[in-house]
Structures are given as structure tokens and as C-alpha cells.
Amino acid sequence: MSQDTATRVLEVEGLRRAFGGLVAVNDLGFAVGQGEIMGLLGPNGSGKTTALNLISGVLRSDAGTIRLMGQNIAGLASYRIARLGLARTFQLVRVLDGMDCRENIKAGLAFQKPHVPAAEAEVRIDALLDRVGLAGHDRRPAADLTYIDRKRLELARALAAKPRLLLLDEWLAGLNPSELTVGIELIRSLKADGITIVLVEHVMSAVRALCDRCIVMSSGRKIAEGATADVLSDAAVVKAYLGGVAADA
């Protein structure tokens, strides 16, 4: 993959965030190129979700720079980052329960700049419902959806803004094997559309199938980076940080 500055969608340098005495993210740096899928791996508590929260503006970093399409977004409010083309899903799925599916997706595109004309928005919502497999459910309240459908809806909302960068926080967790196959295909199709993706994931078969490159975190630090196959076969990484999970995948 090209490391040309022009094709870098996300560049993180020297990122640090501490909670009291605990340094959750420590001197983290990596870059993600246009159209690439980057896996963010590591044991629980290693700082993966904190890193996503820093990038998406939920948390402020203590130090470091985060560049989205070359623009430094460290310290910007979440809504500004969202308008610059970053969308995300959450570790614990978050949909708007009091609204129907159509409104949930509409929320994802209604507040983007420049504004999406109403007619185009409707077309886009229909296409997204279809794409994530929720066609025909547009007037169904989100609260009535099953777990997998809630995940689908959350992804559709994130995609509604036509993001340049998509952060997926364990989006494939909790799916059964056939749902997993569908989910992997769905994410792969996003890559084909040119969306750059950073995903935090524990499902190793999905990481192997999807990620071009991976970084592995432990105690807030990056301990490995490289092509997925290389990182996952790194004996030290497997033994110390993936607890042998990679071996069965």
C-alpha cells in the first residue's frame, strides 16, 4: 500500500491520553491509506476503544496529532469531525430507539455540510436500507429490531453521511457464523466503494478476511504493526496478547 501523504486518510502521531495515573493510550502512531482496512487489535483494556474515542473526538487527547485528510482534528468537537467525513459505530450498539429505521438513517445525513437535498436523502436512505439488509423495515421502530438488525441499522446510519473514514468498534462481535459471513461481505463491499476503515475486532477470522494491515496494542502502546498475516503469525503477539485465539481462526 502506498504511504504517499496524499493518499493518507488518517495519520496519528504521538497520541496520548491518561485517566489519572493510568495511561490508556501512550505515544500511539499509525497511518491509514485511502481505501485501506486497518485492524486495531489487542487484549481488553489495551486502549483500542480509547484510541477510537480520541480519533472521533469523544475524548480529548493529552498530546499528539490526529490528521484526517491532512487536517489536524485533535481537540475538535465530535460534530465537527463528523462533518469532516468521519463516521463510527459503537462497541455497545447505539441506535435511536424512539425513532423508526428511516429516521435513524436520516439522522446520519441530515446534519452534514453541505446539506443533502430531501429528495436525494430519501433515495440514499432506501439504498442504505437495502444494502444493510433492512429493506421493508423503514417504518419499523428501532426498539423492535433484533440484535443483528440493530447493528445493521447503526452501520447504515454511519454510512449515510458518505464518510471518508469509518471506525467500527467490534461491529462483528456477537454474530452467529452465517451472520458473520454476511457481515464480512458487507464490510468488504464498503472497501470496494473506497471507504477507508479502521476496525477494532476480536473475531480473528474476520480480521484475516478483511484487514490489509493491523496494529496490535498492549497497555496503551503499539507493540506490532504490519501486514495482517505477518502480525497474526508473530509468535510473541499471539502468545502474549491474543491468548492463542488467532491459532483457531
Partner 1 sequence: MSAKTAGLGVGALAALVLLAFVPRLGNAYYLALAISLLQYTVLATAWGMFSGPTRYVSLATTAFFGVGAYTVAVLGEILPWPLVLLIAAALGAIVAAIVGLSTLRLSGVYFVIFTFGLTELIRQLVVWFEVNKSRVLGRYVFVDITQADIYWQLLGLTAAVFLLGWLIARSRLGFALRVIGEDETVATHCGINTTFAKVALFTISATVMTLVGAIMAPRWTYIEPSIAFNSMISFQVLIMALLGGAHRLWGPVLGAVPLTLLFELLSARFPNTFTIILGCIFLLIVYMLPRGVAGLFEKLSTTPGGKTTERVAA
8 or 137: CB nearest partner 1:
137
Q: Which of residues 147-186 bind partner 1 (CB under 8 A)?
A: 157-158, 161
What is the per-residue DSSP string for the chain? ----GGGEEEEEEEEEEEETTEEEEEEEEEEEETT-EEEEE-STTSSHHHHHHHHTTSS--SEEEEEETTEE-TT--HHHHHHTTEEE--SS----TTSBHHHHHHHHHTT-SSPPPHHHHHHHHHHHHHHHT-TT-TTSBGGGS-HHHHHHHHHHHHHHT--SEEEEESTTTT--HHHHHHHHHHHHHHHHTT-EEEEE---HHHHHHH-SEEEEEETTEEEEEEEHHHHHH-HHHHHHHSTTHHHH-
Q: Which of residues 109-148 bind partner 1 (CB under 8 A)?
A: 110-113, 139-141, 144
8 near partner 1, rule: CB under 8 A: no
52 or 231: CB nearest partner 1:
52
Binding-site member from 19, 60, 79, 130 for partner 1 (CB under 8 A): 79
Binding-site member from 33, 108, 183, 220 for partner 1 (CB under 8 A): 108
218 near partner 1, rule: CB under 8 A: no
Q: Which of residues 24-53 bind partner 1 (CB under 8 A)?
A: none
227 near partner 1, rule: CB under 8 A: no
- Smallest gap from Cβ 191 to partner 1, in A, equals 21
- The one segment of 8-16, 34-42, 73-81, 232-240 that binds partner 1 by CB under 8 A: 73-81
What is the bridge-based pairing of β-strands 196-200 and 165-169?
A: parallel
- Smallest gap from Cβ 169 to partner 1, in A, equals 12
Residues that bind partner 1 (CB under 8 A): 56-58, 77-79, 82-83, 87-88, 90, 94-100, 103, 106-108, 110-113, 139-141, 144, 157-158, 161
